[in-house]
Structure 1
Amino acid sequence: MDLPTVAIVGRPNVGKSTLFNRLVGRKLALVDDRPGVTRDRREGEGFIGDVAFRVIDTAGLEEADADSLLGRMRAQTEAAILEADAVLFVIDARAGVLPADRPFAELVRRSGCPVILIANKAEGGAGMAGAYEAFSLGLGDPIPFSAEHGEGLGSLQDALREVLPEPDEDEEDEEGGKGLRVAIVGRPNAGKSTLINRMIGEDRLLVGPEAGITRDSISLDWEWRGRRIKLHDTAGMRRRARIDDKLEKLAVSDGLRAVRFAEVVVVLLDATIPFEKQDLTIVDLVESEGRALVIGLNKWDLVADQPGLLKSLREDCTRLLPQVRGVSVVPLSGLAGDGIDKLMQAVVDASEVWSRRVSTARINAWLTDATQRNPPPAVSGRRIKIRYATQVKSRPPHFALFGNQLDALPKSYTRYLVNGLREAFDLPGSPIRLSLRTTKNPFDKG
């Protein structure tokens, strides 16, 4: 179903992200007291009662040079206005109408898009004078509102019902569901937003030479070779000891949440300085969360002239990341658009491996052979016995072993079993979980 689109705009720090969170019913957008927290357009499915819509949170409108970071943020907001079926223009009722509000009210009015004027922060009747002052903007009657406390939702519902087109219910998702969820993560300035812009074919995400531009985890719907994909761009992840800014701590936690909700995670490395300590830490995080994994070597165009480099980096990956042995390592250039098809094929393949199920008969045939070739060690003169194995679930593949004294099984032997499972059942790169379940039998003499 194609939902109508609503864009939330206004100068910085009037409560746009708080309103966005209220409309989508979850704390998706970062919120802080300081202005300028939101930089990219963030999208979600909003609803008030029976009125459903796609809602876009935007960066605060500010006058700035077009080539500056603020200028590029403004361009993103203007693009959201052009895309919208309706605009929620937000002012701070307590501050009243400020000179900065007026040129942007004019911008919204010239767009020709229906505008609903929101006088936010008017809880409990506060700021009513500022709400009345908003009449001077020429955008119609303001709705006194409190995004923080949910006051004014009924009036906003009525206003949206009047201006929004009916949703198009003709389009059905051929595959059902919401598509394959893919998160793009990595250190700051690895080129995540540039890559996603190239994937979807438009300058949808804010990019630039400055590290750390992306703060929110941004979700985008995309289609690759007829398959629905939900892409999540995330803020760059730095070492915790170097994160002393509260806002960046929020952004990093937002990225962690994107990893947990993803099915496949692409860890994007800078090919000019790959496998930094922080890269390895991020891969560890993805593996511990049990997500399918692909490693992208971005900016490959800068190092492609070095013969044998790709082979060397793949060997480094095997040595440094044994817990995801066989993971796909894909060279690409987000800026030039090279390697995107190979990356996406690796993503689809990783998803299939992650979801794979193996029959119990095949697992036990493998187990018999593995324990005969390399029997488990003895503990206090009594040999550990592994009697039976089965796969208890997938996504990621999770196997259970049953036997006696399994709690004494050394880590080296469990690694031997995990590597054997990976090789025997073609599970490259995926996290593998192994549960050891000791069977207690009082008549068992070992």
Structure 2
Amino acid sequence: MKIAIAGRANVGKSTIFNRLVGKRLAIVNDTPGVTRDRREADARLQDLTFILVDTAGFEGADEETLEGRMWRQMERALDDADIYLFVVDARAGVTPLDEVLAGDVRRRGKPVVLIANKAEGRLGDIASLEAYSLGLGDPIAFSAEHGEGLSDLRDAIAEAMVAAGEMAATHSVFSPVLETELEEGSEEDGEAVDPARPIHVAFVGRPNVGKSTLLNAVVGEERMLTGPEAGLTRDSIAVEFASGDQRFKLVDTAGLRRRAKVVAPLERLSTADTIRALKYAEAVVVVLDATQPFEKQDLTILDLVVREGRAVVIALNKWDLVEAPDPTIRAAREAASRLVPQAAGVRVVPVSALSGRGVPKLMETVTDAVKRWSARISTGRLNRWLEAATQRHPPPAVGGRRIRIRYMTQAKTRPPTFIAFCSRPDALPASYQRYLVNGIREQFDLPGVPIRLTLRKQDNPYAD
């Protein structure tokens, strides 16, 4: 079942989310309104397993404001959920905003577990008594930070699951999990469950280049909070998506600014979250503003992605604002090859997140990039190419003795990593190593793929 955490800002929803998920996924800070997008993850509480959804805090603002758009994100999470965890701050007591949101939750008619968070110690039960006035049942005195009240919460969630199941049976609908199982088939009907893992794709870039809007265009719904304000995204939010037979796990991230400008503690947390998402991704879509592409920070981000060895695709967003498309895309592709030589041939895809133009092509390019990133080349093919390459351009002579490259093999994939055995690995110039890497990329059709080359000295079998 899907359980959504609801409540006003700064009552500890994200701390509860992290506690039940068992990982520090959501950013936690004393600043109100840190969470802006809804985040989903698998959670476990003793013997219970469920999907948990963290939501933005309710602040009761006008619809056109940032807070109003955050509330619409919470509403969508509440619409999709089977059960609500309604959280109040036991120390602060019940506020008018708590009462307004509690009224909305009551009208939805779904099972609710009322949590009085921050109720640590002996006074916890007394501090939580005020929550009775919300009319949402018995409050659970809970402390997400210290893990107090977990057994009581487990019992309350189990009771709510029974009630939610009875409601589903009454209305003749399946739970989301059961629907998925029926769609995928079972051993009895002879249909195999699709074993393919989703491709993990992170969308990264400078602030305000349209990463969240582009991800919304890919999934076909307003899944991420968007707006004209720079720096809206703070958490790295993962969204499941399927295109044909291929499944993706798309991760929206906070914009990356120059390190010298990142001084606020909250922005440092967001930046660290983005870097972590990048390291766990298989492919990275670096989103550039088509009207101002390849600025210094764009190149810094591209260099970071390539150094991490991820499959990389450049998305030129805001293409609807470009007045001369043909010369602009030619210049962008030339600039990419010139400015990102460590991933020569990286694919550049023009897209418009607002109109959806180029979005299907972008995901096709990402899939292709991951296939090339996962490529394995046989040792025979590799050494036949090596022999021809070294004959065409022999390694240099150092100290009167020519360096000999005897053998090459691929050690691993993702990214493709090669080991070359040579007579003097410490003396082979970096320029010749680049020659070998570029030759591998060209010969075996690996454009835009980071390639790692390690040099080793082959042991002399007659040394003893």
Q: TM-score, normalised by structure 1?
A: 0.96
Q: Which residue of 2 aligns with 1:91?
A: 88
- Deviation string 1:222-273 (CA, Å, 9 cap, x unpaired) is 1112321111000011110011111011111111111111111000000000
- Deviation string 1:23-47 (CA, Å, 9 cap, x unpaired) is 1110000001111110111111111
Aligned-partner Cα distance in 1 for 2:289–2:253: 16
DSSP 3-state at the match of 1:353 = helix
Maintained 8 Å contact 1:96/1:129: no
1:144 aligns with 2:141: yes
Q: Which residue of 1 aligns with 2:438?
A: 419
Aligned-partner Cα distance in 2 for 1:126–1:440: 72
Maintained 8 Å contact 1:9/1:60: yes
- Deviation string 1:348-399 (CA, Å, 9 cap, x unpaired) is 0001000000000000001101111111111211211110000011001000
DSSP 3-state at the match of 2:377 = coil
- Which amino acid in the other structure matches residue 360 of structure 1? T
- Which amino acid in the other structure matches residue 71 of structure 2? R
Aligned-partner Cα distance in 2 for 1:5–1:399: 45
Q: Which residue of 2 aligns with 1:27?
A: 24
Aligned-partner Cα distance in 2 for 1:252–1:197: 21
Q: Which residue of 1 aligns with 2:357?
A: 338
DSSP 3-state at the match of 2:121 = helix
Matching residue within 240, 257, 261 for 1:221: 240
Matching residue within 100, 103, 115 for 1:103: 100
Matching residue within 372, 375, 379 for 2:391: 372
Q: Which residue of 2 aligns with 1:317?
A: 336
Q: Which residue of 2 aligns with 1:254?
A: 273
Q: Which residue of 2 aligns with 1:212?
A: 231
Maintained 8 Å contact 1:418/1:432: yes
Aligned-partner Cα distance in 2 for 1:342–1:51: 41
DSSP 3-state at the match of 1:278 = helix
Q: Which residue of 2 aligns with 1:435?
A: 454
5 Å-filtered alignment, 1:382-397, equals 382-397=401-416
- Quick check: 386-395 or 220-229, which moved more? 220-229
Maintained 8 Å contact 1:17/1:31: yes
1:39 aligns with 2:46: no
C-alpha displacement at 1:177, in angstroms? 5.0
Q: Which residue of 2 aligns with 1:67?
A: 64
1:199 aligns with 2:218: yes
5 Å-filtered alignment, 1:120-139, equals 120-139=117-136
Aligned-partner Cα distance in 1 for 2:159–2:362: 44
Q: Which residue of 2 aligns with 1:17?
A: 14
C-alpha displacement at 1:442, in angstroms? 8.4
Over 3 Å counting, the alpha-carbon distance change for 1:271 and 1:174 in structure 2 is farther
Q: Which residue of 2 aligns with 1:284?
A: 303
Matching residue within 44, 48, 66 for 2:45: 48
Maintained 8 Å contact 1:93/1:128: no
Gaps of 5+ in 1: none
C-alpha displacement at 1:99, in angstroms? 2.4
Q: Which residue of 2 aligns with 1:244?
A: 263
DSSP 3-state at the match of 1:100 = helix
C-alpha displacement at 1:126, in angstroms? 3.6
Alignment RMSD? 1.4
**Sequence identity (%):** 59
Gaps of 5+ in 2: 166-174, 185-191
- Quick check: 184-193 or 124-133, which moved more? 124-133
1:190 aligns with 2:190: no
Aligned-partner Cα distance in 2 for 1:171–1:120: 39
DSSP 3-state at the match of 1:389 = strand
- Which amino acid in the other structure matches residue 236 of structure 1? G
Maintained 8 Å contact 1:404/1:440: no
Matching residue within 88, 112, 117 for 1:115: 112
DSSP 3-state at the match of 1:123 = coil
- Quick check: 159-168 or 86-95, which moved more? 159-168
Aligned-partner Cα distance in 2 for 1:186–1:126: 47
C-alpha displacement at 1:299, in angstroms? 0.4
Aligned-partner Cα distance in 1 for 2:183–2:45: 23
5 Å-filtered alignment, 1:151-166, equals 151-164=148-161, 165=165
1:297 aligns with 2:294: no
Aligned-partner Cα distance in 2 for 1:304–1:175: 44
Maintained 8 Å contact 1:122/1:145: yes
Matching residue within 194, 201, 206 for 1:175: 194
Aligned-partner Cα distance in 2 for 1:123–1:45: 26
- Deviation string 1:315-364 (CA, Å, 9 cap, x unpaired) is 11111111111111000100111001110110000010000000000000
C-alpha displacement at 1:100, in angstroms? 2.2
DSSP 3-state at the match of 2:137 = coil
